Amino acid sequence: MKKILLSLAVIGGLASSTFADDIADLKAEIDALNKKVAKLENQQKRTKKSLAKVRAHDAFDNIKFDIDFRTAYDYISYKTATKTYTNDALFSNRLWLGMGYQPTKDMIFKGQLAFNKAFGADTNGRGQGYDGFDWVINETLTDDTLKVREAYWLWTPTVGGFGTTLSVGRRPATNGYLINLRDDDKAKSPQGHIINMEFDGLSASIKLDKYVSGSYLKLCLGRGLTNARTRFDAQGLDYATDTSADKLDNMDLVGVLAKIYDDGQYSAMATYYRGFNVPGIDSTLTTPALRTFGNMDGAALSAQIQGIGDMINDFLDDTILFASVAWSQTIPNANQPMLGSINKESGYSYWIGAQVPNLTGGKFGLEYNHGSKYWRPFTYGEDTMIGSKMATRGNAYEAYWTQPIIKKDGKSLFSMQIRYTYLDYDYTGSNGFFGDNGTPLTMAEAVANGLDPVESAQDLRVYFRYRY
Amino acid sequence: MTTVKKVAFAAILGFGLIATTASADADKGKRIYQKKLKNVCGFSGAVFAAKHTQDEWAEAKENGELGKVMTEACPAGADFFESAKFKKKFSTHLYDFVHDFASDSGNIPSC
């Protein structure tokens, strides 16, 4: 028995000694591993830092492209005094190929190439008439050529402690404040109630948000028409001003925009502009043609509530309400009746709307606007097939449902919209220029003059849109 | 009202006007920043978002430390970042926003 116990003690002692050695070995191995892990962690940190530097450098070292491609179906219908005209098979594609480059923090280039075309070959000279006018060339259905919709540089220096911007180039004054809601776009600075067209020019702004939340002041100068002669002019006067009586003057537009207030929930915006030497059709000529008619003033005040209450629930948070009022006034040249009148004529318009979220993660909207007899905004580029609803001298009603179908990182990648627009005209000439074809006649007056005016128009649209 | 008008309005109303659901939204995050934090922090949302890289914001979110990291970026907003509403509701929208405009995002701000 003693022998057995002695043997066990010896074996135990030996095992204990081996176990202690193993523990020491293991500890050494763990220490070595810890050192390796620490080294690897440091390496990973350095790699992450390097990668972040590379990404930050890369982010400002190349042109970034984005795509906005939309396929739409429109059912359109016009009711005149005598007849109804329809198109129940109008399909179209619209592509915006955007690009941006920001080599430094305060210098940005932005560009956008676009095409906007109806399905099928065209035999009606689309894009050759006023639908090919420079103000709307990318907003109307033309052909399958890519055109420049946007190309400008934007400099954003801080001057005297104020954030400022200066930008020159071709800038579409489209998709502006409030009209962006039905268009499902981010709002650009123009007020959609009065300005919605493309232009070449410059803008300069100064941020005043250190005084009033979100406020800024912006000056915009645009050239709507140039009367420079062509290259290889017959008289050798390439690009000189053409002062011939049958030529249009340069047309310019000066506007002052003010973001009065914007705290992310409540915002208000105001604009005043003057268009110099605005064109119109002169019907007194043997062959009616465009002539310069005078100047045009306009102004608007718009306000928006994005979210009702202080984050009460998602429905109220995402509900948007807005209202806007606008005014326009003609300033005709001597003996050049603008909108059919040699006197200064004022028009007004008001616009209200709401947008609410729905169960499917989409948005539902209702809008109404009214325009008076001499109402005339610059909204020729508005994205409405039957003519600008904001220009309606009468009543315009609209309902839409915008639905994201595929989202990525909180952004709509693929979406659809169903929209119905109904325009009920009180007067003719809602979408004309500033001369005779902008003359407001009641429907009865127009009929008495042998015309067959459009009394109402409607557009039912369904689109699918890819953006990335 | 013509038949087309009635059908169109009814269809859009029927499809569209149903209750609501929320999903993460960078634009909403921007609005939340503008409304709740811009004055408190004293700088714009773009400056706030650019305090970190996309990876750093993502890591903070994964580790459940978004509030802490955002507080470091804007100490004056500590109360907001510690609030129940931030944790329950605002953090996902704000995260989408800061991730979109992180220092290495390369996203060019609209003008």
Q: What is the pLDDT along chain A (468 residues), one digit of tens a residue?
A: 666 666 666 666 666 667 778 888 899 999 999 999 999 988 888 887 787 777 777 777 788 899 999 999 999 999 998 999 999 999 999 999 999 998 888 999 999 999 999 999 888 888 888 888 899 999 999 999 999 999 999 999 999 999 999 999 998 899 999 999 999 999 998 999 999 999 899 999 999 988 999 999 999 999 999 999 999 999 999 999 998 888 899 999 999 999 999 998 999 999 999 999 999 888 888 888 888 999 999 999 999 999 998 878 888 988 999 999 999 999 999 988 999 999 999 999 999 999 999 888 899 999 999 999 999 999 999 999 999 999 999 999 999 999 999 988 778 899 999 999 999 999 999 999 998 889 999 999 999 999 999 999 999 999 999 999
The three state secondary structure string of chain A is: CHHHHHHHHHHHHHHHHHHHHHHHHHHHHHHHHHHHHHHHHHHHHHHHHHHHHHHHHHHCCCCEEEEEEEEEEEEEEEEECCCEEEEEEEEEEEEEEEEEEEEECCEEEEEEEEEEEECCCCCCCCCCCHHHCCCCCCCCCCCCCCEEEEEEEEECCEECCEEEEEEEEEEEECCEECHHHHHCCCCEEEECCCECEEEEEEEEEEECCCCCCCCEEEEEEEEEECCECCCCCCCCCCCCECCCCCCCCCEEEEEEEEEEEECCCEEEEEEEEEEEEEEEEECCCCCCEEEEEEEEEEEEEEEEEECCCCCCCHHHHCCEEEEEEEEEEEEECCCCCECCECCCCEEEEEEEEEEEECCCCCEEEEEEEEECCCCCCECCCCCCCCCCCCCCCEEEEEEEEEEEEEEECCEEEEEEEEEEEEEEECECCCCCCCCHHHCCCEHHHHHHCCCCCEEEEEEEEEEEEEEC
B11/A77 Cβ within 8 A: no
Q: So what's the pLDDT on residue A359?
A: 82
ipTM of predicted assembly, 2 dp: 0.73
A58/B106 Cβ within 8 A: yes
B2 contacts in chain A (CB < 8 Å): 458
For residue B53, give the nearest of B96, B98, B107, B104 by alpha carbon. Answer: B104
Q: Given A214, A362, A407, which is nearest B16 (Cβ)? A: A362
**For A65-467, which CATH superfamily applies?**
Porin (2.40.160.10)
**Closest CA of chain B from A431, distance in Å:** 22
Q: Given B26, B90, B108, which is nearest A410 (Cβ)? A: B26
Based on the number of CB atoms within 10 Å of its own CB, is A60 exposed (0-12), middle (13-18) or buried (19 or more)? middle
Q: In a 3-state reduction of DSSP, which class is residue B5?
A: helix
In the chain, the amino acid numbered A279 is P
Q: So what's the pLDDT on residue B2?
A: 62
For residue A140, give the nearest of A150, A152, A127, A155 by alpha carbon. Answer: A127
Q: Does the structure show a pLDDT above 80 at B17? A: no
B4 contacts in chain A (CB < 8 Å): 75, 77, 458, 460
Band of pLDDT at residue B20, cut at 50, 70 and 90: very low
A86 contacts in chain B (CB < 8 Å): none
A101/B54 Cβ within 8 A: no
B8/A460 Cβ within 8 A: yes
B17/A60 Cβ within 8 A: no
Q: What would the pLDDT profile of B22-62 be if each residue is shown by its tens digit?
A: 455 788 888 889 888 888 898 888 889 989 888 889 999 99
Q: B102 to chain A: nearest residue by CA?
A: A56
Q: A212 to chain B: nearest residue by CA?
A: B39
In the chain, the amino acid numbered A50 is S
**Closest CA of chain A from B95, distance in Å:** 10
| Whole-number Å distance between alpha carbons of A341 and A143 | 37
B18/A318 Cβ within 8 A: no
A214/B16 Cβ within 8 A: no
In terms of phi and psi (left: phi > 0; alpha: psi -120 to 50; beta: otherwise), the region of A239 is left
Q: Given B2, B12, B96, which is nearest A410 (Cβ)? A: B96
**Closest CA of chain B from A417, distance in Å:** 10
**Closest CA of chain B from A113, distance in Å:** 17
Q: So what's the pLDDT on residue A135?
A: 92
Which among A401, A406, A458 is the top mutation candidate for probing chain B, defined by the most B β-carbons within 10 Å of its own β-carbon?
A401
Residues 7-66 of B with CB under 8 A from A: 8-9, 11-13, 15-35, 38-39, 53-56
CA distances from A291 to A249, A280, A338, A462, B92 (A): 8, 6, 11, 38, 57
Q: What would the pLDDT profile of B62-103 be if each residue is shown by its tens digit?
A: 998 899 999 999 999 888 898 888 888 888 889 989 988 888
Q: B22 to chain A: nearest residue by CA?
A: A314
Tokens 């004022």 belong to which residue?
A: A346
B54/A401 Cβ within 8 A: no
Which among A359, A386, A395 is the top mutation candidate for probing chain B, defined by the most B β-carbons within 10 Å of its own β-carbon?
A359
**Closest CA of chain A from B93, distance in Å:** 8
| B65: phi then psi, degrees, rounded to nearest 5 | -115, 25
Q: B90 to chain A: nearest residue by CA?
A: A311
CA A260 to chain CA mean position, Å: 20
For residue A394, give the nearest of A446, A436, A344 by alpha carbon. Answer: A446
Cβ-contact A351, A193 below 8 angstroms: yes
**Closest CA of chain B from A346, distance in Å:** 31
**Closest CA of chain A from B36, distance in Å:** 9
B34/A262 Cβ within 8 A: yes
Q: A205 to chain B: nearest residue by CA?
A: B111
| Whole-number Å distance between alpha carbons of A247 and A257 | 31
B31/A307 Cβ within 8 A: yes
**Closest CA of chain A from B97, distance in Å:** 9
Cβ-contact A421, A386 below 8 angstroms: yes
**Closest CA of chain B from A112, distance in Å:** 13
Q: Given A52, A55, A401, which is nearest B16 (Cβ)? A: A401
A422/B104 Cβ within 8 A: no
Q: Given B13, B35, B85, which is nearest A265 (Cβ)? A: B35
B3 contacts in chain A (CB < 8 Å): none
Asked if the C-beta of B83 comes within 8 angstroms of chain A's C-beta atoms, the answer is no
| B21: phi then psi, degrees, rounded to nearest 5 | -140, 150
Q: So what's the pLDDT on residue B3?
A: 64
Q: Does the structure show a pLDDT above 50 at B19? A: no
